[in-house]
Amino acid sequence: MDNTINLSFDEMWDKIIACDRTYDGLFFTAVKTTKIYCRPSCRSRKPKKINVAFYDDMQEVERAGFRACKRCQPEVEHSPHAQLIKTVTAFLMKEYKQRLTLDLIASHVGISPYHLERLFKQETGETPRTYLDKIRIDKAAHLLKTTKYTILEICFETGFHSPSNFYKIFRRLKACSPTEYRSLQWKEQ
């Protein structure tokens, strides 16, 4: 199965700055000056943005001459279910615009919906649904910062099928409305 994801450089940069562990295994951060690569959740001092490269695959980053960080140990699988969770999260990252159900996600990886939800929650601390909501809101926040799309266009572009649900989830995850978020982002620039 293809586990590559479609995140822009800036989106990946935001994930490493936030030390977001939900993206561990989906990409690796390589620091050109030290020749070390890390997980997105690594708590080590953050490098300058110009010194960073991102890789989707551990073998690819090692072939490029980088060695594993001793602090976050990206080469070590911390769970026997890591590959399954990586496959599910990559699927969610790719298909976030689609109408996804737990049954559909579970059939993609070949396990029961109940087992998937239990394993996913055990490994990530959240359900596939809340993880999908987080992906969609991250994409919406990126579009709010970088485009002039209307809020409604962004709602549908990021896979939400109900504006009220979009507003509710956006407010829960970002602690403000999409309009407030956009105005804060434009003021910062």
For the annotated catalytic residues, the residue numbers are 38, 42, 69, 72
List phi, psi (to 5°) of 54.
-115, 140
Q: How many residues does the chain have?
A: 189
Taking CA atoms, 43 is separated from 20, 38, 47, 133, in Å, by 10, 9, 11, 25
| DSSP per position, 52-112 | EEEES-HHHHHHTT-EE-TTT-TTS--STTHHHHHHHHHHHHHHTTS---HHHHHHHHTS-
